[in-house]
Amino acid sequence: MKNIHADIIHDPSGFVLLADHVPGVIQEIRYYSTYNFIGERIDGYEEPCALLTKEAARALKAISNELMVQGYRIKVFDAYRPVSAVKHFMLWGIEDQDVRMKPYFYPDLQKQELFERGYIAKESSHSRGSTIDLTLLDMAKGRELDMGSPFDRFGTISHPDYRGITQEQYDNRMLLRRVMLRGGFEPIDCEWWHFTLQDEPFPDTYFDFPVSSEYLRK
């Protein structure tokens, strides 16, 4: 079932709940909460759950299995993102006065620079369903690996190749990068946490159904 835009689809039949396919996955869906760069729940996030295409979930399961043998678990911050959520981001960009979360997420940048520099895209690969934002949790220590910057900390400090961090933090980023590359995902150059399935099943299609387990089962 399509809306007036031929490339925006409301049919979730190619998607699955990530938790059903990746045992032990940890989920902290930031855009369902108020702890994100806007400071409020984002449109389209009706449940704090990660949805992905079947193909991306299958690839991530293999990655998770490899990591668990090494003592790590996957922690997911975002996966499929509805087009309505991206529109929420863009509308927020127009409201110049709303910078309440600037100290936490973009302290070194002006709001409009987030869009100009590509940290927030007008069309997000997340809306195609095979992109994921994630980190690793050390099972022995019971905490996330230190990546040198938190999720959605916009700026050069979060570029994967940034060297103004400790060697351990850099090595942690490279561990995540290597295992994701080996598992069939591609990184981007401005966010250490962001990866897209190389052979994504919907490379030219954007989806706009809610992040909801109930909607998925309809």
- 43: its two tokens: 């449109």
Query: Phi, psi (5° rounding) for residue 209?
Result: -105, 160
Clarify whether 191 is annotated catalytic: yes
d(CA 11, CA 8): 9
Which residue among 46, 47, 123, 191 is the active-site one? Answer: 191
DSSP-assigned states of every residue in 5-55: STTEE---TTEEEHHHHSTT-EE--GGGSS-SSSSSPPTTB-SS--EEEHH
Give the other-Cβ count within 10 Å of 151's Cβ. Answer: 23
Q: Which residues are catalytic?
A: 191
